[in-house]
Amino acid sequence: SSGINAEYGGGKEKICFSHLPYHSDWIFLGTTFGNVYTVNIKTCKPSNYVIYWSNANARKTYPEHPGEIVGIVEPPAEPSRLLIAYSKGLMIIWNLNKKETEKVFKNKTGIKSVYWHVEASKLSKRFTVSHVDGSLSEWEHEKKKKKDECLKSCTPFSDFGNCDFIGKVVKAKRFSDVNPIIIFSGGLPSMDYLDRNTVTIIQDRRENDFTTLDCPSKVLDFLVIETPPHKKDETFATALIILTEEELLAIDLLDSNLPEFRLPYLAPVHCSPVSFVKYLPNCPNTFPDSALIPLL
């Protein structure tokens, strides 16, 4: 990342988010300045294709700088478009071919993450957003509508007082589920549980039915292993992987008791700082069939 920072922004502009689309040679890098750069993963060379925040906000629908990039994801059914989320509440649908903003979503509450649903029956039109006040909102992208409103919003633990931010949210479905589950980190009441490091699994439409996992150290990242792994298909969650400051945790989502998998090693993964974890299915023969790769 230092080479990119040196070329774009003189080292002051830092990378804060990355997204590699399925079957793509180009990775999108979001920065603290609100810009998105593209880099070829085979050559490690940056492209001249840059989505500057000023161009993304060309319609002047947002009165100020939208903040840093907190989310980049392509709609599963529309690989030529990106949903880009900014920390101050702005979200846009960006057309990669036309190099323009097609739609703008505005939220008064700051954003921490965004997740696009994979639902074959609804053609993947909906996405969920996590916010700085511990709330979750759900949106729907309709091409024919010039302006889309928030479908619903809730704060899972609002009954217990003001809540901490929800750092990440994922919406998934298990084989046995009629309704999808929501998995998120943080979001607990800030007065009594600020020192807790948690990941919560909550059943959609049954918000009193939830399980909160209290981790031994700060939660840095988590992911859900799904089958099949291809995002254009409807997927089913099988396991939850949680990366904390001190260890890697694996939870069995197929068991209603949510037991922890016994890890195949005794040494901690943090011989040096780790901040991200990625699941790589169907690796070449030179690697194991499936691997969890912590990136240092």
| Predicted local distance difference test score (pLDDT) of residue 179 | 77
Q: Which of 8-22, 23-37, 277-291 has the lowest mean pLDDT?
A: 277-291
Flag whether pLDDT at 4 surpasses 60. Answer: no
Residue 233 contacts residue 121 (beta carbons within 8 Å): no
Residue 1 has pLDDT above 50, yes or no: no
- The whole-number pLDDT of residue 84 equals 96
Cβ atoms of residues 172 and 160 within 8 Å? no
Mean pLDDT of 94-109: 91
SS3 116: strand
- Taking residues 114-124, what's their average pLDDT? 70
| pTM greater than 0.95 (yes/no) | no
Tokens (6 digits) for 132: 């700085």
Mean pLDDT of the region 43-63:
84
Say yes or no to pLDDT of 38 above 70.
Answer: yes
Distance CA 2, CA 184 (A): 31
- State mean pLDDT over 57-76: 83
- Contact yes or no for 29/17 (Cβ under 8 A): yes
What per-residue confidence (pLDDT) applies to 9? 45
**What's the pLDDT tens digit per position in 206-246?**
556 788 999 988 999 999 988 865 555 667 889 999 998 88
What distance separates the 2 farthest-apart alpha carbons in the chain? Answer: 54
Measure Cα distances from 162 to 113, 132, 135, 165, 187 in Å.
19, 11, 10, 10, 9
What is the identity of the amino acid at 245? E
